Structure 1
Amino acid sequence: MSPADTAPVHAPPAGPDAAPVPAPSAAPAPPRRRRLRTARLLPYAAGAWLAFVVTHRLVSGRWWLWLAPDLTPPLAFLAVPVLLLALAPLAGAARGRVALLAAGGLLLGAGLSGLNPGVLRPVSPAPPDALRVVSWNTGVWNHTDDPDRFYAAITARPADVYLLQEYKPHDDPAVRDADLARLRREFPGYQLAARGELVTLSRFPIVGVTALPADPPADADWYTHYWEVKSLRTDLRIGARTVSVYNTHLLIPLDLSSPLGETFYDRRHLFFHRRQDQYRGLLADLDRNRLPVLLAGDLNTSPAMADLAGLTGRLTDVGRASGSLYPTSWSIAGLPWWRVDWSFVSADWTAHRYRLHDMAGMSDHRLQEMTLSLGGTR
Structure 2
Amino acid sequence: MGGAPRWRVRLVIGVTVAWLLFVVLHRVLSGRFWLWLLPDLVPPLVYLAGPLLLLAAAPLAGRSRRWWCSALAAASLALGAGQSGLHLGPLGPGAPAAPAGAVRVMSWNTEYWDQDDDPERFYGFLKAQRADVYLLQEYLHWTDGTPRQVDDLARLRREFPGYHIAAEGELVTLSRFPVAASPPVGPAVALGPGAAWNSAFLLAKTLRTDLRIGTSIISVYNVHIPTQYMLDENPLTSKFYSELHGRDAARKAQFRGLAADVEANRNAILVSGDFNTTGAMGDIQWLSDRLSRADDDRRLYPASWPAAGPALWRLDWTFTSSARIHGYRLLDPQGLSDHRAQAMLLSVGDDSDRKNRMASSN
Quote the residue 2:208 is aligned against: 233
- Indicate which of 148, 152, 174 corresponds to 1:201: 174
Contact 1:195/1:211 (8 A) holds in 2: no
Give the partner amino acid of 2:271.
Answer: L
1:17 aligns with none
**2:21 corresponds to:** 51
Is 1:135 aligned with 2:107?
Answer: yes
| CA distance in 1: counterparts of 2:79 and 2:169, whole angstroms | 39
Deviations 1:210-264 (CA, angstroms, capped at 9, x unpaired)? 2222231332221110110000111011111111100000000124311233421
How many residue pairs end up in the alignment? 342
- Per-residue deviation, 1:90: 2.5
The unaligned stretches of length 5 or more in structure 2 are 144-148, 354-362
With the length of structure 1 as denominator, give the TM-score of the two structures: 0.86
Identify the residue that residue 345 of structure 1 maps to in structure 2. Answer: 320
* Cα distance between partner residues in 2 of 1:115 and 1:277: 29
> Match of 2:327, as an amino acid?
R
2:228 is equivalent to residue 253 of structure 1:
yes
CA-to-aligned-CA distance 1:253-310 (integer Å, 9 cap, x gap):
1243112334211101100000000000000001000111111000000121111101
User: Cα offset for 1:170?
Assistant: 9.9
Are residues 1:184 and 2:160 paired? no
| Correspondence 1:167 to 2:139 | yes
Residue 370 (str. 1) matches residue 344 (str. 2): yes
Q: Relative to 1, partners in 2 of residues 1:373 and 1:365: Cα closer, same or farther, differing over 3 Å?
A: same
Distance 1:255 1:331, change over 3 A: closer
Contact 2:307–2:339, Cα closer than 8 Å, also in 1? no
The equivalent residue for 1:14 is none
> Could you say if the C-alpha distance between residues 176 and 61 of structure 1 is closer, same or farther in structure 2, counting changes exceeding 3 Å?
closer
Matched, 1:144 2:116: yes
Is 1:69 equivalent to 2:39 in the alignment? yes
1:322 is aligned to 2:297 = yes
Given that 1:212 and 1:232 are in contact with CA atoms closer than 8 Å, whether structure 2 keeps it comes out as yes
Structure 1 residue 36: Cα displacement: 4.5
Letter of the 2:210 partner, please give it: D
- What residue in structure 2 maps to residue 154 of structure 1? 126
Would you say 1:276 and 2:247 are equivalent positions? Answer: no
Q: Find the partner of 1:86 among 56, 66, 71.
A: 56
State the one-letter code of the partner of 2:180: V
- In 1, the alpha carbon distance for the partners of 2:142 and 2:31 equals 35
User: For structure 1, which runs of at least 5 residues remain unmatched after alignment?
Assistant: 1-29
Q: Secondary structure at the match of 2:185?
A: strand
Q: Which runs of 4+ in 1 moved over 6 A?
A: none
Shift of 1:34: 6.0
Tell me which residue corresponds to 1:222: 197
User: Structure 1 counterpart of 2:340, which letter?
Assistant: R
In structure 1, C-alpha distance between the alignment counterparts of 2:262 and 2:215, rounded to whole Å: 21
